[in-house]
Chains A and B, each alone.
Chain A
Amino acid sequence: MSKLIIPTPLRKFTEDQSTFESAGKTVQEIIQELVSRYDSLKTHLLDDKGNIRSFVRIYVGENDIQSLEREQTPVLDHEVVSIIPAIAGGLD
């Protein structure tokens, strides 16, 4: 099983869960499993064509999947997948 870390702004769609365990072997399989479990998350993570939206980045370990094999990037057991969202706060 690999672990997916869900960032704070998306937790309102995951019943406040901050992590998600998955047996998926690629980023795509894991994301598909995640959005089928939490349906309302789908439109916030994927566009109409099923691609990862451009205001979130997905990392496997410390590497951006854009520099690997994108959605087809393999995920090994015990690897950590991170969703990194754009957040803007700071001033007030």
Chain B
Amino acid sequence: MSTQFSKEELERYSRHLIIPEFNINGQRRLKESKVLVVGSGGLGSPLLLYLTAAGVGKIGIVDFDVVDESNLQRQVLFSQEDIGIPKVEAAKKRLQGLNPYVIFETYNTQLTSTNALDIIKDYDVVADGTDNFPTRYLVNDACVLLDKVNVYASIYRFEGQVSVFNYLLEDGTRGPNYRDLFPEPPPPGLVPSCAEGGVIGVLPGIMGTLQANEVIKVITGVGDTLSGRLFVMDAASFETRVLKLGKDKSNPLNGENPTQKELIDYEQFCGIKTTERVRQAEVKEIDVFQLKSLSENKETYQLIDVREPYEYEIANLEGDLMPLNAIEEFVGKISRDRKVVIHCRSGVRSAKAILTLEEKYGFENLYNLKGGILDYADKVDKTLAKY
């Protein structure tokens, strides 16, 4: 027997039902479908709100994070009172209030090579709203291995991309996937995450909404999906383009000679090498309390801030500003005869700066501020803004 709707549901979805090519059959397909949304942040917020409102039957939500004040600039799913609460919990509460006819399943965990297949296998479509390359490749590979459609969107500052990967085509084959678009990820550090590089708050709203539209098209069969095409938008210049996306014969998952039959170590694949971490861990460190005691006698040390000027304006420790990208131009201004403490936001960039200065210029008096200005704001000076 086909899926039935109550009077209340028919009224709720009436604006769908009166679109001739959508009608009750489209609504029925939505109700019968199961969609997994990976990441309930910037992209996940509009995705989850619209998929819930539209009447998808079951929605799974994967996120391991808790709501933070800095999320609310764009993650419209959450409210002030959700701060500190697990995102999946806050999301489910909000979404149940929006549409009681949807079933929610939450996964308060990070998607990993160990759990991905098990979580994804129960869903028809996956919407990827994650924020890092290892998870992007993980979601892609798991979807290809399990024959699931992966609706993709990604953002950076003012720039966004949307596509539909691994779509079942009429001839029974699958459309291109993420590895056809980008066979390999960029080296770590070239493309910062939104946490480091920033994002205009409206952009995930736009891209996540487009992503929700593609999910609905994939499920209902209405319209032409973005399979085989990549939508690109620069919200600053308002340049939009739809580019053709083909399959890559050398795709290791489903090219001419597939070599990959299971999930891999994605941190390693993305070059987040343990050796680099080990090298960074070898850098001499001081903690925020040690810096606090040092700061009582400013003559004895130099404090250097390797962040960008716009970060300095948000909060600073009155260090000498020498952004990491241009650190080598400042070598002459770095003291060699007293202790030099170098800091950034969280301690990663400053460790890189120290490695460069030690290896290329022979410095031996450099100390990394462990945890960066964020840790200083947490433990020493609570008046500093965190970002």
Which residues on A are within 8 Å of B, measured CB to CB? Answer: 5, 7-9, 12, 18, 44, 53-57, 59, 62-64, 66-67, 82, 84-92
User: By DSSP majority rule, is chain A's interface helix, strand, loop, or mixed?
Assistant: mixed
Contact A91 B44 (CB under 8 A): yes
| CB interface residues, B 19-46, toward A, < 8 Å | 39-44
> Would you list 22 pairs from A and B whose C-beta atoms are within 8 A, ordered by A residue?
A8-B158, A8-B234, A9-B156, A18-B237, A54-B183, A54-B184, A59-B241, A59-B243, A63-B243, A67-B244, A85-B191, A86-B185, A87-B161, A88-B132, A88-B185, A89-B154, A90-B43, A90-B44, A91-B43, A91-B129, A92-B194, A92-B195
Top 3 closest pairs, chain A to chain B, by CB:
A91-B131, A91-B41, A89-B194
B239 proximity list for chain A (CB < 8 A): 5
B220 within 8 A of A: no
How far apart sit A86 and B179, CA to CA, in the bound complex (Å)?
11
Measured CB to CB, the closest approach of chain A to B90, in angstroms, equals 14
How far apart sit A56 and B325, CA to CA, in the bound complex (Å)?
21
B245 proximity list for chain A (CB < 8 A): 64
A87 proximity list for chain B (CB < 8 A): 154-156, 159, 161, 191
Q: Between A and B, how many residue pairs show CB distances below 8 Å? A: 127
Contact B42 A90 (CB under 8 A): yes
B218 within 8 A of A: no
Measured CB to CB, the closest approach of chain A to B242, in angstroms, equals 7
How far apart sit A15 and B245, CA to CA, in the bound complex (Å)?
30
B204 within 8 A of A: yes
B232 within 8 A of A: yes
Contact A90 B159 (CB under 8 A): no
Contact A7 B159 (CB under 8 A): yes
**Chain B, residue nearest A44 (CB):** B190
1/0 per residue B149-161: CB within 8 Å of A? 0000111111101
B166 within 8 A of A: no
Contact B161 A9 (CB under 8 A): no
How far apart sit A69 and B246, CA to CA, in the bound complex (Å)?
14
B41 proximity list for chain A (CB < 8 A): 90-92
A8: which of B42, B128, B157, B193 is its contact (CB, 8 Å)?
B157
Contact A90 B130 (CB under 8 A): yes
How far apart sit A21 and B143, CA to CA, in the bound complex (Å)?
40
B288 within 8 A of A: no
Measured CB to CB, the closest approach of chain B to A92, in angstroms, equals 5
Measured CB to CB, the closest approach of chain A to B21, in angstroms, equals 26
**Chain A, residue nearest B136 (CB):** A88
B133 within 8 A of A: yes
Contact A92 B131 (CB under 8 A): yes
Measured CB to CB, the closest approach of chain B to A48, in angstroms, equals 13
A53 proximity list for chain B (CB < 8 A): 184, 186
**Chain A, residue nearest B178 (CB):** A86
Contact A64 B131 (CB under 8 A): no
Check A90/B154 contact, CB under 8 A, given A18-B234, A54-B184, A62-B244. yes
| CB interface residues, B 98-140, toward A, < 8 Å | 128-133, 136
Contact A86 B44 (CB under 8 A): no
How far apart sit A9 and B199, CA to CA, in the bound complex (Å)?
12
B181 within 8 A of A: yes
Check A90/B204 contact, CB under 8 A, given A9-B156, A9-B190, A82-B232. yes
B182: which of A5, A44, A82, A86 is its contact (CB, 8 Å)?
A86
A91 proximity list for chain B (CB < 8 A): 39-44, 63, 65, 129-132, 194
